[in-house]
Structure 1
Amino acid sequence: MRDIIIIGSGFSSLSTACYLAKAGNNVTILEKNSTIGGRARQFKQNGFTFDMGPTWYWMPDVFEKFFKDFGKKPSDYYQLEKLGPAYQVYFGRDDSITIPDNLKDIYKIFEKEEPGSSKYLKDFLDSAKFNYEVAINDLVYKPGESITELINFTTISKVNQFFTSIRNTVRKNIKSNKLQQILEFPVLFLGAKPSNTPSFYNFMNYADFGLGTWHPKGGMFEVVNGFVKLAKSLGVKIETNEAIEKIVVNKGVIEGIQSNSKFRTADVVISGADYHHTETLLDQKYRGYSEKYWEKKIFAPSSLLFYVGFDTKLNNVSHHTLFFDTDFDLHAKDIYDTPKWPKEPLFYASFSSITDNSFAPISKEAATFLIPLAPGLNDSPELRNEYFSKILKRLEYLTGQELADSVLFKESFCVNDFKKDYNSYKGNAYGLANTLFQTAFLRPKIKSKKVENLFFTGQLTVPGPGVPPAIISGKIVSDMVLNTKIK
């Protein structure tokens, strides 16, 4: 039996802990904050409930596969509801497209907007489904150690898709700008511009249209609770308010960690915390990546989030609503090319209480708003208030209702909070972008290059950003630990 310490309690850490505890190891999770879940924490105020981080439940098969590995299924821990509509996209006042919960009706929506487009959409989704199956079955569960992991007969036949962007593929046949944006939107979950994301990643469109958008009753935090219950049933110990001060190494081999001025021995340490921050807990000579390395990387966006309680039910919005009424490319430029606060940002809103009355008191609405931002921006209360005013006025105009006087309270979370609460590099929200040169074996390694028995998991390593990839990352690192001879 090995004594294993896992840093952080996000999805990747919880996934790792379950697999390693099942294999008979003594596993302890240490979480710096007072609550579990990492970015998937929960916030409550005045009878309102908010998921602080992820609000989208996509790729349900990944969750099913995880629980199946333990002889369980998601319904043993939480209840799912398929959202219909899946989401709504605003392009202007009285100008929105609502995405249904089935392909037949989605084809009709496309055909209505652009005659003939449904044929191209079907071809696109056939390719997306094939790529999804290739990714899930052949690629994403690989440890990212070598380019050979990507090379097989199928991927060779698809090699051109790694050198063509999603944007080029989408815009080749679909001419409606609205439909283009709807098809390009899912890759934002990968943290990169559609013009910089390989076409192979259109499998995210199959996750969207093919597998659908789901809601776990009680929110994403109920999924966290499900993972925690499973972990504890396997013997995992979870301790909160345990900020790691140092990872202790002796002659290149892990000895343990120091937290709250207390030393804990460990045979293996796995960090689900920010990769860059974790390496700062090591002596300089044991760090695998330099500051220059991190500076050159393309990071996924940070976010300005608002958690808002409204004293009324909202009209003309869906559970998930995207506001694409401003220039997509200009906002993307302000994130990736010349980082600055966007003049007219796109934004996303989750109105979970439309579907789930546990999120807000009767006749009230719980709303989470998210504006993608470049990481590392100056962050101040004045800027946050300015941008809340911007999006609230847009929300009122686009949906035809007055809401300013109905705001009971608002809480915000931005770059400074990502740094403080998660030790996030430059306050990024989603880790490293999945661009061509930051994919698979080109991402930071799961196994430390300089320290024996030190491993990493989560959104800065393979397979990448998002909740399903985090769960998969936990499986990958656990397999690697179990297959490593511990010194």
Structure 2
Amino acid sequence: MKTTIQIIGSGFSSLAAACYLAKEGNDVSIYEKNATIGGRARQLQKDGFTFDIGPTWYWMPDVFERFFADFKKKPSDYYELIKLSPAYQVYFDTNDFVTIADNLPEIITTFESIEKGSGQKLAAFMKEAQSNYDIAIKNLVYRPGESPLELITPETAMKVGQFFSNISKDIRKQFKNERLIQILEFPVLFLGAKPSDTPSFYSFMNFADFGLGTWHPKNGMYSVILAMESLARELGVKIHTNAVVEKILTEDGRACGIQVNGQKIHADIVVSGADYHHSETLLENKNRMYSENYWEKKTFAPSSLLFYVGFDKKIQNTEHHSLFFDVDFDTHAADIYDNPKWPENPLFYASFPSKTDSNSAPEGKEAGIFLIPLAPGIEDTTELREKYFDKIITRLEKLTGQSVKDSILFKESFCINDFIKDYNSYKGNAYGMANTLLQTAFLRPKLKSKKVKNLYFTGQLTVPGPGVPPSLISGKLVADLIKKHYKPEKQPV
């Protein structure tokens, strides 16, 4: 008799888990509260423009390849990948920007041209970063966080000091130019914490950046969601949208189903890929592993103020991905992590996918996605959104030497209130829980409930952490744990 598994949510981790569990012959269904699948990686289409609502960076292509290879597939069976050249551009002032090439030798040359001697230092730094990447991504992150012993290998024993130093300190020992420092600190922001709070070992993100390059799936990141949906359906997964899960049902200390839109649905196993904090609110108090106080004390990755803008002309002097670091990084970081408030002068990021992908905007027009990192849990109003849109567009015009305000056809925004409403996100966080030293591996919320049998969790608040590739891995980890631990109840004779 097949094991019935109900999965809450349809983001990357849920879809990955569903594929692995269905491959094992289980009867798997997904329940998504929104009208379309993808969780935070949904898509907005308006007036011929197409925007990724959530993730826009495709890094670590090897993780995607490994996922599809587990089903004897390749990413190219489902979507076309384009390597961005240049990878991205970083603005520091008017006509003062650094372009990051799509290959390490050119990036080394760029560094050397900015700071004498830094090219050779970067080459050595990247050699260590690649070593860390090989240890982490090919091995450590595929461990389920059940025990601290998972982190102890002959390779990590050689690098134990890197877990007690931090990225910022390491970079500043070797590089003096502030622009180069900020560029090298940028990749670890994907892990959700300040570089000064991120262990040195995470320099593997620099290899993900400079070593493996930045890619764009044709038609956007949502192409990956559609690929995973297609694979899941091929494997027999059933997907339900507009399906609000109101309760996780338990009986005699084990999960026995979920309540969806008022209807009770049986399950042998329940997996939640929804926000972990929210998932536990679907249980009775006695069945929750983590208290409100626990969540309150954790370091969460930022939230974001996002804008999706249709322009009636092509935007000049920018690349597909452009970072605007023309204000003080430390001050903005303090406004996120140390004294949460709206930053006076925020760093921001802009993506113009139509520079690469003609399907993103009508001919002669440009699709723009803008992101300001914010502290989770702060006030979110229409007036604040408008104020900050004006701030960043004014700076965009100044830094790139052009007028764009008069070319805006429309704009849509997405911020803290929307993360809460659409994703039940704790305090409206955008990226989950940060990967600090005390929130790494076995120190993160567990994949398997200790209080309710046959209840599991997946996604960016659990192992291995925030980001799209880790979410794919999280889905595999939870499926492996279920395979390892689940024992069907014996039926009475």
The aligned residue for residue 269 of structure 2 is 268
CA–CA distance in structure 2, aligned partners of residues 483 and 23 of structure 1: 12
Letter in 1 for 2:67: F
Q: Secondary structure at the match of 1:38?
A: coil
Do the aligned partners of 1:453 and 1:486 also contact (CA within 8 Å) in 2?
A: no
**Deviation at residue 198 of structure 1 after TM alignment:** 0.2
**Deviation at residue 486 of structure 1 after TM alignment:** 3.7
The aligned residue for residue 366 of structure 2 is 365
Q: Secondary structure at the match of 1:91?
A: strand
The aligned residue for residue 154 of structure 1 is 155
Q: Does 1:166 align with 2:167?
A: yes
The aligned residue for residue 216 of structure 1 is 217
Q: Secondary structure at the match of 1:459?
A: coil
The aligned residue for residue 350 of structure 2 is 349
Residue ranges of structure 2 left out of the alignment (5+ in a row): none
CA–CA distance in structure 2, aligned partners of residues 450 and 486 of structure 1: 18
The aligned residue for residue 87 of structure 2 is 86
The aligned residue for residue 179 of structure 2 is 178
Q: Does 1:335 align with 2:336?
A: yes
CA–CA distance in structure 2, aligned partners of residues 152 and 390 of structure 1: 49
> Following superposition of structure 1 onto structure 2, how do residues 91-240 of structure 1 map, counting pairs within 5 Å?
91-240=92-241
The aligned residue for residue 283 of structure 1 is 284
Q: Secondary structure at the match of 2:170?
A: helix
Return structure 1 stretches of 4+ with deviation > 4 angstroms: none
**Deviation at residue 129 of structure 1 after TM alignment:** 0.2
The aligned residue for residue 432 of structure 2 is 431
Letter in 2 for 1:161: Q
The C-alpha deviation readout for 1:389-428, integer Å capped at 9, x for no partner, is 0000000000000111100000000000000000000000
The aligned residue for residue 302 of structure 1 is 303
Do the aligned partners of 1:6 and 1:17 also contact (CA within 8 Å) in 2?
A: yes
CA–CA distance in structure 2, aligned partners of residues 201 and 374 of structure 1: 22
CA–CA distance in structure 1, aligned partners of residues 123 and 167 of structure 2: 16
CA–CA distance in structure 2, aligned partners of residues 74 and 244 of structure 1: 31
- What is the root-mean-square deviation in Å for CA atoms of aligned residues? 0.5
CA–CA distance in structure 1, aligned partners of residues 387 and 322 of structure 2: 21
CA–CA distance in structure 2, aligned partners of residues 145 and 453 of structure 1: 16
CA–CA distance in structure 2, aligned partners of residues 157 and 486 of structure 1: 42
CA–CA distance in structure 2, aligned partners of residues 451 and 125 of structure 1: 44
CA–CA distance in structure 2, aligned partners of residues 241 and 349 of structure 1: 31
The aligned residue for residue 452 of structure 1 is 453
CA–CA distance in structure 2, aligned partners of residues 59 and 98 of structure 1: 20
Q: Secondary structure at the match of 1:430?
A: coil
**Deviation at residue 137 of structure 1 after TM alignment:** 2.4
**Deviation at residue 173 of structure 1 after TM alignment:** 1.1
TM-score (norm 2): 0.98
Do the aligned partners of 1:303 and 1:371 also contact (CA within 8 Å) in 2?
A: yes
> Following superposition of structure 1 onto structure 2, how do residues 383-462 of structure 1 map, counting pairs within 5 Å?
383-462=384-463
**Deviation at residue 247 of structure 1 after TM alignment:** 0.5
CA–CA distance in structure 1, aligned partners of residues 26 and 383 of structure 2: 49
CA–CA distance in structure 2, aligned partners of residues 239 and 254 of structure 1: 20
CA–CA distance in structure 1, aligned partners of residues 290 and 379 of structure 2: 26
Q: Does 1:31 align with 2:32?
A: yes
**Deviation at residue 154 of structure 1 after TM alignment:** 1.1
**Deviation at residue 138 of structure 1 after TM alignment:** 2.3
**Deviation at residue 153 of structure 1 after TM alignment:** 1.4
Letter in 1 for 2:346: P
**Deviation at residue 156 of structure 1 after TM alignment:** 1.1
The C-alpha deviation readout for 1:347-373, integer Å capped at 9, x for no partner, is 000100000010000110000000000
Q: Secondary structure at the match of 1:224?
A: helix
CA–CA distance in structure 2, aligned partners of residues 3 and 429 of structure 1: 31
The C-alpha deviation readout for 1:333-352, integer Å capped at 9, x for no partner, is 00000000000000000100
Letter in 2 for 1:136: I
TM-score (norm 1): 1.00
